[in-house]
Chains A and B, each alone.
Chain A
Amino acid sequence: MRKREYLGQLELMVLLAAIRVHENAYGVSIAHAIAEDSGRDVALASVYAALERLEAKGLITSVRGEPTAERGGKARTYFRPSAAGLKEAREAHATLMKLGSGLPGLKGQVV
């Protein structure tokens, strides 16, 4: 049986943001999605580091876009969650919901 690797908080946030952005998911759009939903300003380098870790775990795939003049001739890298990534996000969400349900300290708050 394959040992399950648990995701860190940032990794989970990046994975969920990549799923949320879906099309056009690259470094900046993922960082924006996290900032909008969590209220935290995340450094782009941290997002890319988390994306690299997720890619190494096979939870996300990357595709290089076309280089543009606006970006100084550098190409964007688009990220798509893989089937394993979607499964992992679903399982992590379900686990968090189960752990948080019925806790008196969390009543009335979003878990």
Chain B
Amino acid sequence: MTRRAAPKIGLWLLQRLGGGYHSEALIGDLIEQCARGRTRWWAWREIIVAIVIARTRRWHSSQWLRLARASWWCLTEMSIVLSVILMADKTQSGRSFKDLSAPTFVVTLMVLFSISLIGLKSLIRLHRVQRQRTAIHSLMALFLVMSLGVGTLTWAATAHYGKTQPVPREHSKITGTTIAGLSKEPQP
């Protein structure tokens, strides 16, 4: 049997551009098969196919899917925060059971809960599939989640408390006197 060496440039390219989960095993297989008499043409064909598959998979997972995942995560987090705020607001302000069982409130809460549950389930499943995750990616994800959480809470608080602040009596009616009063400095 003729002993051939695997193309070194090809293996180097595969190491650089392949990057699959089992790329080391694949490189080993190519070296082994070339040593057992496979042609260099066969090895090059395998290398090209491996690079094309790896690149295609990486492109698919890195461009649109990442954006979709980030958007989905954002939507899920917003739903969770909004549902918690909504529930806390309704219960704290001492509303009656009639208010709590109002169709608008119940439907809104159900929609938010559904989005949260579906989002969390799909994200947990996705996390299980992803086996290789570097430390920097995890840190970036953590930072993104924290900043999104803080941002959502700030936005929700501003939107909520900004609306419910009492309007000064002198500004509540648009009359000649109030418009004149607006131009003056506010009274302490």
Chain A interfacial positions (CB closer than 8 Å to B): 26-28, 43-46, 48-49, 51-52, 55-56, 62, 64, 67, 70-72, 74-77
Contacts and interface: CB of A to CB of B under 8 A. Distances in A.
Interface in B10-36: 20-22, 24-33, 35
A44 B10 CA distance: 15
Q: Please tell me the size bucket of the interface on B.
A: 20 to 34
Contact of A44 (B29, B54, B129): B29
B24 A75 contact: yes
A16 B12 CA distance: 32
Contacts of B50: 43-45, 48
Contacts of A74: 24-25, 27-28, 31
Nearest to B47: A45
A71 B57 contact: no
Given A43-B46, A44-B46, A46-B53, A71 B22 contact: no
A28 B32 contact: yes
B30 A52 contact: no
A44 B30 contact: yes
B173 interface: no
- Residue from the set B28, B31, B33 with the largest chain A CB neighbour count within 10 Å: B28
Interface in B41-99: 45-46, 49-50, 53-54, 57
Contacts of A77: 22, 24-25
B125 to A, nearest CB: 10
B26 A27 contact: yes
A28 B45 contact: no
